[in-house]
Structure 1
Amino acid sequence: MRETMKGRLADREHAEAVALNPHKGPPPPPKLRPRVIVEIAAGGAAGVLARYLLGAAIPATRTGFPWNIFTVNMLGCLAIGVLTAYLLNGRPHPLARPLAVTGYLGGFTTFSHLIDGVYTIGDGGGAGLAAVYAVASVVLGWIAIAIGLVIGRRIPRHPNEAT
């Protein structure tokens, strides 16, 4: 199963590279693609806005545990799993991954916010809680990705989208 996913990921990346840069022969040196940059920027702007709004909607707790950042990152991990499985098993537009994964989810979830939360908790005297937050974020993030992969594989597709 793991080798199949790796193969599909390599196939998907190759297909996206060909669609973004159709040419014969060895690939040219990397170039800035204006359309890809716009897609990533638009997705990133939407992701940052969603992160801000969701983070503001979740109240702070007395314990100092940053539930807002934790919730955003767990939802982002789940979405990464769903999108990855869905994009690998279908024939999405070649700009779907730059827009949705790199842009939107890159703006929605942030490692810097995770580390800021660890630092803030630890700086406030809660070294143990900071460690729990860091470990829980990583472990539960991986679990959320795994759940997302299962969900993404179960999303129905039109017959002409199947690979």
Structure 2
Amino acid sequence: MYIIKNPTIPTALEIVEPLKAGTEIEIHGTAHDEFTIELLSGANIVLHMNFRNQELVLNSFLNDHWGPGIRHNHPLTSHDQFHVRIFIHEGYYNITVNNDLLVEYEHRFPVMAVQAIGIKGAVNVQSIIFKGFEFKTEWKKRHQLINGAVTNAYDSVPHAPSLSLIEGTQYY
């Protein structure tokens, strides 16, 4: 398990090892208004979760285009504590909010290409917890802001490497 405590928002934080079935990411925080959690790969938003007005909008921004959005109700209101869990399965993400299954979202992009998690909006994050990874690399030494996945969404982010430079991935 690896924990990042009290990250500054907005943030884009490197995920050191590839996502795969059985890995999970937990975000603990307090919602103040609209906020977004995203899994990022270069300029692609592999998973976009926008919490607003008790509605969750899920989508992906791949190769400069948004896909079809999916909308679900969610229980969060202003100043609510929350625990969002993204559990990776072979073909989909299992997303829970405060331990209640909210939605299963099909992969639209290879999860092994995910390089970072981004969080922005009116939210305080107490912790981000990574579980189920092999932890072959010392995450603490590698942990850094990669700031860049989506330049206009996350200020001050140098571009992440292109997908062709990531071992084991293909450009989609």
TM-score of the two chains, using structure 1 as the length reference = 0.19
Quick check: which one's helix share is greater? 1
TM-score of the two chains, using structure 2 as the length reference = 0.19
Quick check: which one's strand share is greater? 2
Structure exhibiting the larger radius of gyration computed from Cα positions: 1
